[in-house]
Structures are given as C-alpha cells and as structure tokens.
Structure 1
Amino acid sequence: MKRGMLTALSSEAKLLRLANALIRSGYEDFFQTLVNELALVLDVDYVMIAAVPEASHQATTLAVSFRGESADNILYDLHGTPCETVPERELCQYPESVSTQFPDDKMLQDFGIQSYCGMPVLTSSCEKLGILIALAKRPVKLGEADQEIMRIAAAQIGANMELARNQHRIQSLIFEDAVTGLANRRRILDWLDETPGVQSVILLDIKRFKDINDLHGHLIGDAVLYAVGERLKSRVSGLGFLGRLSSDEYVIIPFDEWSGTVLDQARQIQQWFEPSILSGSAKFQIGITIGAATASQLDGQRFRSVGYELLRRAGVSLAEAKALGQSVLVFESSMVDSRQYRKRMFDRLSDVLREGGLSLHYQPQIDLRTGELVGAEVLCRWHDAEMGWVPPGQFIRLAEERGLIIELGDWVLRESCRQLHEWDASGTSLPGKLCINISTIQLESRGFAERVLTILAGRDPSGVVFELTETAMMRAPEISIRQMERIRASGFSWAIDDFGTGYSSLAFLTRVHAQFLKIDKSFVSRVPNSRNDETVIRTIVAMAESLGMNVIAEGVETQEQLAFLKSIDCCYAQGYHLGHPLDPVSFKQKWLA
C-alpha cells in the first residue's frame, strides 16, 4: 500500500495494523517491521528507533524506515537536534519549519525535513533508553490517535530494549569477570569447547600478587588486576581470545593472525609488562610467569576437547615454571613426571613432618681474627627411605607452595630450642649465636611473633639470630619491618641473608636494625679472581661497619677466598673450607667438646 493511501483509515484500522506489527515482538526483525509499518500508518517519510546510552551525547539507530522500506542505521550527535529537547516522559512535536529551528542538525538539513515528532522510549521504571522518531518532508502535526499509536509503539519498544539489556546483564554476570570485564572462567571453557582448531593456549600469572593485596589492600589489588587486564586487552586486541581464569591468572588463546611460535608470543607478552602499571597514585612493576602448550605436542592423540587439554597442559607448564623459578615454560611430557614426583614428595613430606623424619644439621661460623667458633647456622635436612637425600631447595620450596612452611618452620624452631637445651645440659653449650632461617610466609603469618616467643620461652634471646633473605624481605618491606621489630623488641637479633642479591637501600637497612649482613656466596665464590666481586664485598664490609653491623661471608670454600676476606677485615665467615654442616652429635664432638 503506497504512502497517502492509509490517511483515510480509521483509528481502529490503524491500531489493527499496529497490533499486527506488535505481534512480531521478540523476533529479530521486530524493530524493523514496526518502523516500516509506522511510516505508513503515520504517513511520514522517516521513522526510526534510536538508542541513547546514559550520559551519552550520541544516538545510534536500531532501525530506520524510509517510506515503509528499510534504510541504513546511522550514528548522530544529539547536540543541537530536536531529539535533545524530547522530555523524559512526554511526546514532543515540531509540526513545521523544524530545520529552521535547528540549523545545526545536519540530518534534518540533508533529508529536507520540515516536521518532527519524538517520543521517549522508557523502561518499566521510567528510565530513558532511547527515542522513537517520526520525520516528514512536509508540515505534519500528529493528531491524538496518531500520538497514541506513537505511545503504544514506544512502550513496546521500551519493553523489548529493557528485556534485551537485562539479558545482556545476565549474560555479563554469567560470562564476564566482575573485576576486569574480561571473559571469565565459564566463558573461557565454553569458548574452548565451541571453537575448533585451537592451536595453542598461554597462561600467565602475576608474580607475588598476594604481596600487593597484603601490603596495599584488596581494592588496590583489584585495581592492579584491572590494569593488567586492560594492558593485555590493548595488546592482544584481534590477535587472540583473552580472559581471566582465576585470581591472578589470565589466559590468552592466540589466533592465526599472531605470528611467531608460542614461545615468541610468550616472550612478547613479557615485554608488554616491562613498563610499570599505574593504579591511582601507586606504581607497580609487574612480573609475570608464563606457561604454554601447543597442539603440535598432542602427537595425534584424540581428546574430547583439544582446547581443554591444551588448557590443562598450559596449567602444568605454568606450575612447573613457578616451581622452578622460570619465567616461561612450554609444556613437555616430562613435566607430568615432575609434577607426579613433587606430588609424591609432598605426600612424603607431610608424613615425615608429623612422624619426625626430618633432622637439623649445624654449620659452624668462625671468627676470622681468632679462628674460634662464634655460632652456627641451622640447616634442615631430609633423608627419605624411598627417595634418599632430598635437596633442601626442593622440599622447602614445595613446603612454601603447598602451605606446609609454617608447620615446618615451627618444627625447626622447636627442635633448635630443644637441641640448645640438650647441649646446655651436657655442659657443652654453643658459644655465640644460633642462626635460624625464617621464610617470608612465616614472617607474614598471623601470630608469628607470639609463636616464636612461646617456643623460645626460657632461652636467652641474645643467643638466637633469625635470618631472612634480602630478596624475601623486599617483597613486602613494610610488613617485614613491623614483624621484625616485634621480635627484636624481645631481645632477639636479625641477619639479612644473601645480601647483595636484592634491592634494599641504605634507608631500608637503617630501619630494619639488623645486627648481621651475610654476604651471598655467589660473590665469595668468584674472588679473588673477579675485581668487580672484590669491590662489591669491600663495599658491603665498609657499609656494614659504618652502620654498626657485623658481616658474615657465606660459602667460603678455598684458602684464597679466606685470605682475601681476612685482608679486608671481614670478621666472620662460614663455608665448607671452615666446616661442613654436621648432625648434632658430630657437631658436638668436633666443635663443642
């Protein structure tokens, strides 16, 4: 039916045509069907539905009709247009000369529009979502019946837009991470299940994220997670699928458009985080660990979901990278054996810790000026009936990873205290101080100071030194200082272990009030043949003297190293050249008898 032929229709006939269009509500073509029908029923040139986001100055059409036929959607600026004047709840009309009244409205000028009618599109709670617009190239004033048609149509449009928005919100809650706005775990898994041909999966983890939460609070922690997500989003863009898998883990699934091997891609991701992350006024240097897996490693094996299997393997490689202190690892089948070995080691460690299968050895510390024993360092050892001697670096790191380090640390404190009492009772007391290593996790744990003071009750605090590595101390310096001060106030001393490998400053050293600096053995091992290392050691000794601190050189293994340390007036040292770690009986016979 052509334009003009519907003007003679009765109001009832127009409402009937409107009702036929409204029947399409819920269908994909509803908005287009409705505006096409309205253009004919109202006898106007254009009808359009425009969405107006909250606080936006632009409108986007969802459907446009020109004389009853579909037309292209447009985006236009609301400023200086009659749409800007449409009230929150009432219909607005400009029956004639609307182009003259709004000379800055380019659309009106280009279309040659003379009359305008706009009806706000509202939600059930009267929130404005958009506008239903009727435009004519001649003067037109809609009567009461046609205005009512506009109201009915706008009400149904509002209901549909509100439903769509609510469905989108529900989808967002189900599939969108609340902190970063990225795809969440459920969406990631669905995407992997639905997408054929996945060739690789990359997992990345923020190093020491717990420290950020503990030191700065969870609000700052969430802000950092968001900032990391934004950086990834800006770099990955169309190169891959991106999501947040869990607390501080993100997943990237590269598309074919991303060139290079998965190892190249992983290294590129690491470069993205060389610039620091800004969160409010705080700046964070983010380190990341990456684990990856590729379909080429599947060797023709069949899986229900290749994507799921690659995600699992990427998780294995990420865990392996964290366990080994590596920045990037790509999955290898041997990692499964390694994981199984660590699982077996953890099970055994849990058993021996509770059954008394661990032991302590003691390494002598010597005064280089007199050659006399001035103390010892406690070293935890584990000889397993099934696994043999297990290196401390392996089982202590595993204890930290799996939450056993506090229990292990408390056992070391109790056993050290018991041994000191035993030596005292036999009349062979340890001269000087006993140095006991403390993990950062122990230091930051709830009730640490109270546990230490309870376990060591009755011991002279001047005879015990707690060691904390410089690197561990600087992970959360403010927390470290508070806890260390509580212990120091009770008379115990602190030593900064592996000094020279971290990033502490002179200002920090004056705040921790440590009594000892222990020079890391990596420096000692290269003297007297490395001028740079000699300079570092001389500087540490001089700095410690100026701060009123004592220096203990670690890892002395040759006579030449010993001679160099004596020549620069380093007072104390330990190492195989001076004495190996020994079990309590052997240590007593050699050093205390």
Structure 2
Amino acid sequence: MPKTPEQHAPKPWRFVSSLLGQGSKEILGQQERRDNVLTIAPIGFVVALLFSLFNTLLAPYPLLGAIEAASALLLLLPAIRLARRGQHLRWAENLLMLCGVVVFGALVVVGGVGGTGLFWAYSFPFMAFFIKGQRKGWLWSGLFLLEVGVLLLALRGTALAYPYDPVQIPHYLSSLLFVSVIAACFNLLRSRFQEKLHEGVLANTATAQHYLDQLQFLALHDPVTKLPNRTRILPLLQDEIGQAQSRHGGLLVIAMRLSRLPEISNIIGSDATNELMQAITGTLQQLLGEGGMLARIAREELLVIFHMRKPQFDLEKTTQMVGSYNLDFEIRGFPVHIDYTAGIAVYPRHGASAEALLHKAEQSMLQALQHGQAATMYDASQDEAFVRYHYRFGRLRDAMAQNQLTQHFQPLINIRTGKLVAAEALARWFDPEEGFISPLEFIPIAESSGLIKPLTRWTIREALHQCALWQTDFPGVAVSVNLSVRSLFDTELLPMLRQLLQETGINPALVRLEVTESLMLSAPEKGLAILQDIVALGVRLAIDDYGTGFSSLGYLKHLPVQELKIDQRFISQLVDDRGNMAIVESTIDLAHHLGLMVVAEGIEDQETMQQLWLLGCDIGQGYYYSKPMPIDDYLSWCHHYQQQQLLGPLAGVDGDVDGPAML
C-alpha cells in the first residue's frame, strides 16, 4: 500500500500533524455518537441545575445561577431529546458544546466562589475532544480559549468580572492552552486505540465475511464441481421455466445417475474421483454449451436442463440422444468408463414447476434403473406404479407384523413311481382390503427392500415346522423353499438354518433350498462358498427356473446342488414346440450326466407328463397334480393321494382328474 504524505514526513511533524487532527478518520458511528451525547448531557444537566440552585440561593451569584439554569433548560434538555430520538445528532452535539462555552465562560468571568470558576473551565477541552473528535475539538477549544481571553480582558475591572490579578490572566490562558494540548493528546491516544480496534474488527469482519461467503456458496453449490446443488437449482430451473414460457419454447430436464462411482472411487482414490467428477461435468457442459444448465444434486446424480426451441419433441430420438453420451476418461493413468441411467421430464408436457419436473425426472430415472435401460421418458403410469409400490410396501410390512401371511404347499411327485416326494412352500397374502395379492406382486417388493430378510426367515421357519409335523403321517416327504440371491448372501442365514434344524429335529436331507441361476452372475465365488456351507449342514440344494437366465455350464458343474428345476415356460409348450422339446431333452440329459435330479414345474396335463416320462424327467410339479393349498387342504390331499396310490398309481388335478403316473 503506498504511503500518504503524512507518513513520509519526519516523526515529530507526524505527531504534531496527528495531534492537530490531520488525517484523522471518522470511525464513530451514529450509535456511538448518540451514546456519547447521552453520557455527557444528562450529567451536565443535573450538575448545572444543582449549581444553579447553589449559586442563586446560597452564594451571592444570581446571574451565574440564571445562566446555568437557562443553559440546562434551553441547551442540554433539547440535546438530550434529539439524541434519544436519534435525530440531528450534529445539532445535539453542537448544543452540548454551546452549553459548555456559555457555562464555563460564565464561570471564568464571574469567578464563582473565591474565583474557583477558573478550575471548572479546565474540563471543557476534554469534553470538546471527546464529543467532536480531534480536528473539531481543536476548533471548539480554540473558540473557548478566545472567548475566555476576550471576556477577561474586556470585562476586567467591571462589576461583572471577578477581580483577578492582571498577572494571573495570561498565566491562566497559557495553562488553559496547555490543558487543551493535554486533552488533545489523551484524545489522540484514545482515537488511535479506537482506530486499531476498528481495523481489527474490520479485519476479523472481513475474515468472517469470507467464511460466510464460503458457507453460503457451499450451501448452494457442490464443493467439487462448483455446480449448483439441489437447493440452488430449483429456483434456477423455475427461472428457466419462466424464460421458456416467454419464448414459447420447451425444456428437457434430465436426471442422470452415474453407475459404479463408489467402486471406482475405491480404486482410484477420493482425489482422483473428484478429478473424474470435474471431467464428467466439464464434458457435459461442453455438450450443453449455451443451450442448457448443469447441476450436481447428489453424490452420484446430475441434473441437466436443456433448452428446446419448440415444446414439441420426438420421444424416441430424445431418449436415444440422452442415452448416447460417451463418458470415457483417463484419470491419473486409469482408463475409466462411466455408465449412467437417465430419466427425462419435459416442460411443459410434464409440469410447470421446478419441483414437479425434478421429481418426475428422478422418478423416470429410477424406472430406467429398475428396467436396466440407459434412458427413459417420464410416463404418467409411473406415478401409479410408484404409489402402488409404496402402498403395497407399507401394507406388506404391516401384514408381516400382524401375521397376515400364510403358507401354501404344492406337491412334487416322482414321475416314474407316482410317489409324493416333497412339497414346495409358497407364501400367500390375503389383504383385508384388496383381497388376494399375487406373489408376483409382493415378492419383488420384498426383494427390492429390507422386507425380504424377515420374509425369508418366516418362510423357512414355517416350512420346517410344518414338515416336522407331517413326518408322522407322511415320513420322508421333504419341503422345498425358494431363496433369493439377496437372502442367500445374508450372513444370518446359516446360523438360522442350524438353529431351526435343532429346534424341529428334522432330518436336514428333508429340507430343499431352491436358488436361481442368477447366482452364477452375482459373486459366484462367494455364492459357491455359501452353498458348500449349506450342503455341509445336510440340506439339499436345487437350481430353480433353469434356462431363464444366462446359464453357465462351467459354474453348474461346480455347484454343490442335487436338483435342477426346468422353468415352466419350457414345460407349458413342451408337446407343441419342438424347440422347447429339444431344450428340455438336452437339459435332462445334461443334468443326469452331472448326477442331478430333474424337476419339471408347470405340468398342466397328462400328455405333458407322459412326454416328460419319455424324456427321463424325475420329478413333476404343477396343476396336473395339484395347485398350491393351505396346510390343512394339503394334508387332506396327501391322505387322499396316498389312498389312490394304494389302489393304483393315479394322479390328477387337485386329485379330481385321474391319469397314469407312469407308463
């Protein structure tokens, strides 16, 4: 910072210059000046009235008493009123100073008791510098000094003036000047202290303001990309809606969920991940150019606002365009490819408020994520699906807490012997308000939430207890339970199985757990270890719905399973579809070569059952034998089926339609 002319001057002159008020700063605010007046004026008002009474009644100085009383009422009282109102502070200060000039001047001239009025006048310079500051304090002090000198010389020897010694007057005026210098020095020290304090306050305030600005920025922006966050983007999006409305255009609002960001962050580190996010947002901003806006509304979620010249758009082309962004980067030597899922909402088609468009874009993005699509456009039917999902989620949670779920059992029959070998336990839900709700609806809800864990525990516990109970009448008949991949990876599954086997005393070989072949794609090594632990308990394992997913023969030969269930979609059209016939035949052949039993589910007629017998299938399940039944109906069916078996190897739908169980 360049030095001022005063800073270039020698130190003695700088002191004199400062003493005279050169370069002094007006740092007192309105409130401080008001407080100063209200500190001095009330004290002066009380003291002036007291001395007025004293000089009028007790001492022979009625003129001095009248001057003091008049000054208190006409000068100090208005100054107090102006200061209290906070109005015309300069007038209040000047009234206070004028009162000092009049009263202290009168004290010097009249002299007071024994000429002591001279001593009271020494307080005026201190008051002047305190109230008016360094520069104006000298003006008032000089005015007072001039007033006192003129009055003493002009009124010397008259009846009004105290009879001072002629030698005393110049000495008194010199002492008054000296006191003024002392008062100026004290005020200069006070002013410098206030200036330093003020500068410190300003510096601290600037630092605090800097931090406040940072906090305000971070409250509205993402710290990594410096893009607007969710809080900031909503008003900005509302502004964009207003502009689009005025130009009769449209807006694309795109919610983008970045895939695998946490996994990538674990590999390349948090700093490199920040560089990656900056690279991603930089690329998208280049694609947008001046035609849109970008925000980061969550750790893995971005919001793109794209201007459209017209509110009309091509649904298919728009979705393809959004899903075609190429996000390939190299961060610190690591090649990184970012997949994403995008949901699209359009103004004005899908809403006219920022909240509505953002909500619908995110909802559409979740829909795309659920269906494995790169991008989807918002559809009003998604609202119904989301509402229904969350409503069903709440109802299912309550149903599980209130034991409203029941278990049905569907028999599994040995196709060659007609013998009942097992029953599959299936969860059923009858809601008091909606009635029967299909497992195809509530099982996916449980699997996509935390409800699958308690549902699996309940299913296994109920199935094992029922299987243990029917061993008295139907010894050797096993129970089969479906396990989702998520339940299979539950660390509490094995301890629970071990505990239930001990509680029920059931032979572990009578328990069959069915897992889908998707296990081969999600953590196969970990899944294989878990399956081996289950088999070590003596429990049998089956691959369910075989043929519906990406079947890996390499993994299949290593899995410790004993059964293979062919999905019903291949069984239902077995007789009429030569392709299905070839798939089923090769699957049975493959399973037998691997030492596995084959179960065909979805058998609905005798012709299908006979064809499966010819192909060498081991076990059948389906409506041809029986539909799933509550436990009491299932036990009755078992008794009836066994009686039929004693008469002859018969089977039929619900036990009503007879047909050969073996050829």
What TM-score, normalized by structure 1, do the two folds share?
0.61
Matches within 5 A, 1:235-250: 237-239=286-288, 240-246=292-298, 248-250=300-302
Quick one: distance in 1 between partners of 2:541 and 2:389? 32
Residue type at the aligned position of 1:460? N
CA distance in 2, matches of 1:224, 1:592: 65
Alpha-carbon distance in 2 for matches of 1:318, 1:381:
31
Give deviations 1:512-548, integer Å, cap 9, x for gaps.
2121221122222332333332222222222212222
Q: Tell me the number of residue pairs that the alignment of Structure 1 and Structure 2 aligns.
A: 425
Report the Cα offset of residue 364 of structure 1.
1.3
Cross-structure match for 1:202: 254
The letter of the residue matching 1:261 is D
Report the counterpart of residue 363 of structure 2 in structure 1. 316
Equivalent pair of 1:373/1:431 in contact (CA under 8 Å): no
Query: Where is the helix percentage greater, Structure 1 or Structure 2?
Result: 2
Matched, 1:297 2:349: yes
Aligned equivalents of 1:251 and 1:399: distance in 2? Answer: 30
- Contact 2:520 2:552 (C-alpha < 8 Å) held by counterparts: no
Question: Which residue number corresponds to residue 436 of structure 1?
Answer: 481
Structure 1 counterpart of 2:318, one-letter code: Q
What pairs with 1:120-139 in structure 2 (closer than 5 Å)? none
SS in 2 for 1:435: strand
Q: Assess if the C-alpha contact under 8 Å between 2:328 and 2:336 holds in 1.
A: no
Instruction: Output aligned runs, 1:408-557, within 5 Å.
Output: 408-424=455-471, 427-429=472-474, 431-457=476-502, 458-557=505-604
Distance (whole Å) between structure 2 residues aligned to residue 289 and residue 218 of structure 1: 21
- Verify the 8 A CA contact 1:428 1:588 in the aligned structure 2: no
Map 1:51-70 onto structure 2 (within 5 A).
Answer: none
Which of 300, 314, 320 does residue 261 from structure 1 map onto? 314
CA distance in 2, matches of 1:273, 1:585: 60
Q: Whole-Å Cα distance in 1 between the matches of residues 538 and 386 of structure 2?
A: 43
* 1:331 equivalent in structure 2: 378
Summarize the Cα distance change of 1:409–1:280 in structure 2 as closer, same or farther, 3 Å threshold: farther
CA RMSD of aligned residues (A): 4.3
User: Counterpart in 2 of 1:122?
Assistant: none
Alignment of 1:36-185 (within 5 A): 175-176=221-222, 178=224, 184-185=229-230
Per-residue displacement from partner, 1:174-196 (whole Å, max 9, x unpaired)?
Answer: 63375x89765455446435534
**3-state SS, counterpart of residue 479 of structure 2:** strand
Tell me the residue number matched to 1:60.
Answer: none
Greater gyration radius: 2
Contact 2:511–2:540 (8 Å) recurs in 1: yes
Shift of residue 563, structure 1, vs aligned partner: 3.0
Q: Larger strand proportion, structure 1 or 2? A: 1
Structure 2 CA distance for aligned equivalents of residues 480 and 542 of structure 1: 25
Q: Which amino acid aligns with 2:287?
A: G
Secondary structure of residue in 2 paired with 1:255: strand
State the identity %: 28
One-letter amino acid of the counterpart of residue 253, structure 1: I
Correspondence for 1:350: 397
Native 8 Å contact 1:206 1:289 kept in 2: yes
Structure 1 residues 524 and 285, CA gap change in structure 2 (3 angstroms): farther
Do 1:413 and 1:456's aligned partners in 2 also have CA atoms closer than 8 Å?
no
- Aligned residue among 366, 379, 384 for 2:431: 384
Report how far residue 504 of structure 1 moved. Answer: 3.7
CA contact (8 A) 2:518 2:549 kept: yes
Q: Which amino acid aligns with 2:465?
A: R
* Gap runs ≥5 in structure 2: 9-208, 245-249, 641-663
Partner residue, 1:591: 638
Tell me how far apart the structure 2 counterparts of residues 568 and 195 of structure 1 sit (CA, whole Å). 67
Q: Equivalents in 2 of 1:415, 1:279: separation in Å?
A: 55
Partner of residue 411, structure 2: 364
Q: Deviations over 1:354-374 (max 9, x none)?
A: 111001111111212122222
Distance 1:199 1:245 in 2: 18
* Aligned-partner Cα distance in 2 for 1:445–1:298: 41
Unaligned runs of 5+ in 1: 1-9, 17-162
Q: What are the superposed Cα offsets for residues 45-77 of structure 1, whole Å, 9 maximum, x if unpaired?
A: xxxxxxxxxxxxxxxxxxxxxxxxxxxxxxxxx
1:565 aligned onto 2:612: yes
Tell me which amino acid in the other structure corresponds to 1:546.
H
2:237 to 192, 201, 211: 192
CA distance in 2, matches of 1:229, 1:538: 55
What amino acid does structure 1 have at the position aligned with 2:495?
E
Q: 1:283 to 1:486 in 2, by over 3 A?
A: farther
In 2, Cα distance between the equivalents of 1:468 and 1:224? Answer: 37
SS at match of 1:202: strand
- Give SS of 2:348's match: helix
Q: 1:251 aligned to 279, 282, 303, which one?
A: 303
Query: Letter of the aligned partner of 2:481 in structure 1?
Result: I
Shift of 1:496: 1.5
